[in-house]
Structure 1
Amino acid sequence: MHPPADTATPLPARVRRFTRSERWVHRATATLMGVCVVTAACLYLPRLAELVGRRELVVTVHEWAGLLLPAPFLLGLASRAFRRDLRRLNRFAPYDKVWLRAVVRRRPGRPAGKFNAGQKLWAAWLAGAVLVMLGTGLLMWFTHLAPVAWRTGSTFVHDWLALALGVVIAGHVGMAVGDPEARRGMRTGFVRRDWAEREHGEWLDAP
């Protein structure tokens, strides 16, 4: 039996955080990155390689997933909301320095815009890593593009950067697991207003 309308608990107010196109870019990028990481593990870890087999197929899937990795980003540029968020990610505000100092000193009171300073650093690092991985991967794939010394260096950089990517992505996923409201925002596009005020107050206060 439903409670009377005047005693029912009101639903928490929500605000739109991401549009459908932005969520699509994130999901497509995450899927391609996940394929790259899993296939790389199958290529470099002997036990996984033995379990999966079909090395040539795994190599092909890995190569094409890596080659397509920039595609969601490029397609997302057609979205005005996506371009606006890119500008936000690319700009550090005075309160971002306050956020970083608070994190280092493990203090509360961490002001943030739509994206906090950690998310901005993550986005910048990931963009650079993807470009380096794409460049070194192409040199490894098309062996005639460069001399042997370049290909050897590319293999070294590609392998170690892949390991670093795996560690950082695991941290990113761990942070998301610990924040259900952030996951809800990426899944549905909306977040609770009280969460936004607490975690991204400068965003709500912006004109």
Structure 2
Amino acid sequence: MDERLHRFALSVRVVHQTTAVLFVVCVAAAACLYIGPLAEAVGRRPLVATVHEWAGVLLPVPLLVGLLSRALRADLRRIDRFTPADRRWLRRAPNRGREAGKFNAGQKLYAAWIAGAVVVMVGTGLLLWFRFALPSIPRASVLFVHDLGAFSVVLAVAGHVRHAYADPEARRGMRTGRVSGTWARDEHGAWFTEVAREPRR
């Protein structure tokens, strides 16, 4: 029987899932504000705008609270380090999955990009919410950056979701915290070797 390996702590999974819920609420509310037929069907524009604003402001909160977790901080340190194996992964080198650590290069780049995008989105969103902008930047420019950023974030997250749905074992790891040893060896070989060397609890 294929051994199940512990991949994600409960704190990491809660941060991921809570952030996902806030993101869906934020995007759904934005769609109801910007897409004519949806706006007409839903109505209550001030309420929808308030939901969108608060979901956006709260988006970084799960991660900030999650920093109290040692497991999450350890995962963030892993994501923050780019290794030679990551460069080979990007070049689609043979056996790249068997060399990848707990996070492959694609996951690291996605995490870095989405973190920066959230900062930009929250910052521009706050400027729009309180109806002011920096003296040298007109409100229309802030709105343009916010809308362009929103579009790019939705595309990136859609790609993330697409990859997740193509990999049931990866989804199981985020849902239950455990993955099969075979999957770990094939997709994150360096991490599999590291875990295999750890003493059994």
For 1:73, the equivalent position in structure 2 comes to: 63
For 1:202, the equivalent position in structure 2 comes to: 190
**How many pairs were matched up?**
193
* TM-align CA RMSD: 1.4
- Cα deviation, 1:53-107, whole Å, max 9, x if unaligned, reads 11111100000001111110011001001000000000001100000001xxxx6
AA aligned opposite 1:191: V
CA contact (8 A) 2:6 2:177 kept: yes
Deviation of 1:145 (Å): 5.4
Correspondence 1:142 to 2:125 = no
For 1:113, the equivalent position in structure 2 comes to: 101
Which stretches in structure 2 are left out of the alignment for 5+ residues? none
Q: Normalising to structure 1: TM-score of the pair?
A: 0.89
AA aligned opposite 2:159: G
Correspondence 1:130 to 2:118 = yes
Q: Which stretch shifts more, 136-145 or 81-90?
A: 136-145
Aligned in 2, Cα 1:160/1:144: closer, same or farther, shift over 3 Å?
Answer: closer
Q: Which stretch shifts more, 25-34 or 141-150?
A: 141-150
For 1:53, the equivalent position in structure 2 comes to: 43
Structure 2 Cα separation of the partners of residues 174 and 151 of structure 1: 34
- Match runs of 1:174-185 below 5 Å: 174-185=162-173
Equivalent in 77, 92, 97 of residue 87 of structure 1? 77
CA contact (8 A) 2:132 2:139 kept: no
% identity of equivalent residues: 59
Correspondence 1:33 to 2:23 = yes
Max Rg structure: 1
Which stretches in structure 1 are left out of the alignment for 5+ residues? 1-9
Q: Which stretch shifts more, 197-206 or 128-137?
A: 197-206
